[in-house]
């Protein structure tokens, strides 16, 4: 049995599907009930309350751990989840971390995530760590404004990073959960090219076959929007990166191809699969 947290999200959903397709027994964990692939067990749990995860871990051999936004808050104790996994008999944890752990190690949320990585390394469990950069799926934040106004609103329109398709993260996670060769691996996951928000808007417009204008937000405006969903510290860390990515954050990592034997998917592939969200 493999347990997937965040199972209804942009990574957890394709990961659950990939594991089920591979013939694995899967327990999908999310805060709310949701449709699941045939044969997939669903358990409702809130990772901010680690004890609620215990029923999902019974009889499981591996865990994909994705932290929700509130587990990045200063008072959170995500290492308790590692302890719970070990006490429950889990033998392997694949942790979704962040590229910023290596590229900006002094940011407050990066320090906390590095501490969680270290707790996993010291747990005695098998482990792998995934460190993705920016997600292609962050573009879904623009879906409503594209549908209603034909507009993308974002800060730092001409500062790009090599965004990663969440489906590629899911496939790498599946490989790490299923293949012992990835035990102890730390994988930095990026897309195949640097792309700016303004260029992303152009890709969406091409897919729609209709114009999409770009409106540049101030940093303050962007932070106000982000803090509806994530802690202020995480919003600031993210804005620091996307405003002025450093050379390490602009680097195209070989790790997706190293694990999957193919290049990562470009942004326009993600848009083609998700264009209905923008119509």
Residue 131 pairs in a beta bridge with: 188
For every residue of 127-177, DSSP letters joined together read EEEEEE-SBGGGGGGGHHHHHHHSEEEEESTT--B--B-HHHHHHHHHHHH
pTM: 0.93
Residue 37's pLDDT is what? 86
- List pLDDT tens digits, range 23-51: 999 999 999 888 888 899 999 998 888 89
pLDDT at residue 239 greater than cutoff 80: yes
User: Among 62-66, 112-116, 171-175, which stretch is predicted with the lowest mean pLDDT?
Assistant: 112-116
Residue 59's pLDDT is what? 93
pLDDT at residue 74 greater than cutoff 80: no
d(CA 107, CA 237): 6
Residue 71's pLDDT is what? 56
What percentage of the chain carries pLDDT values higher than 70?
97
């Amino acid at each position: 049995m493999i347990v997937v947290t965040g199972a209804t999200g942009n990574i957890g959903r394709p990961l659950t599907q990939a594991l089920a397709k591979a013939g694995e027994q899967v327990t999908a964990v999310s805060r709310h009930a949701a449709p699941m692939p045939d044969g997939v067990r669903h358990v409702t749990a809130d990772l901010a309350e680690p004890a609620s995860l215990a029923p999902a871990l019974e009889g499981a051999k591996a865990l994909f751990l994705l932290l929700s936004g509130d587990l990045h808050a200063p008072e959170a104790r995500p290492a308790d989840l590692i302890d719970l996994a070990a006490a429950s008999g889990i033998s392997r944890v694949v942790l979704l971390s962040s590229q910023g752990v290596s590229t900006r190690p002094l940011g407050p949320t990066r320090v906390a995530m590095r501490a969680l990585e270290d707790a996993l390394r010291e747990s005695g469990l098998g482990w792998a760590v995934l460190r993705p950069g920016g997600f292609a799926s962050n573009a879904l934040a623009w879906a409503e404004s594209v549908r209603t106004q034909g507009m993308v609103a974002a800060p730092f329109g001409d500062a790009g990073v090599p965004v990663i398709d969440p489906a590629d993260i899911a496939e790498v996670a599946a490989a790490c959960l299923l293949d012992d060769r990835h035990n102890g691996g730390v994988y930095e996951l990026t897309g195949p090219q640097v792309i700016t928000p303004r260029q992303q808007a152009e890709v969406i417009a091409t897919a729609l076959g209709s114009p999409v204008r770009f409106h540049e937000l101030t940093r303050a405006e962007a932070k106000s929007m982000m803090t509806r969903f994530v802690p202020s510290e995480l919003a600031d860390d993210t804005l620091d990166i996307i405003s002025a990515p450093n050379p390490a954050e602009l680097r195209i990592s070989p790790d997706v191809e190293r694990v999957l034997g193919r290049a990562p998917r470009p942004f326009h592939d993600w848009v083609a699969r998700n264009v209905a969200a923008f119509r």
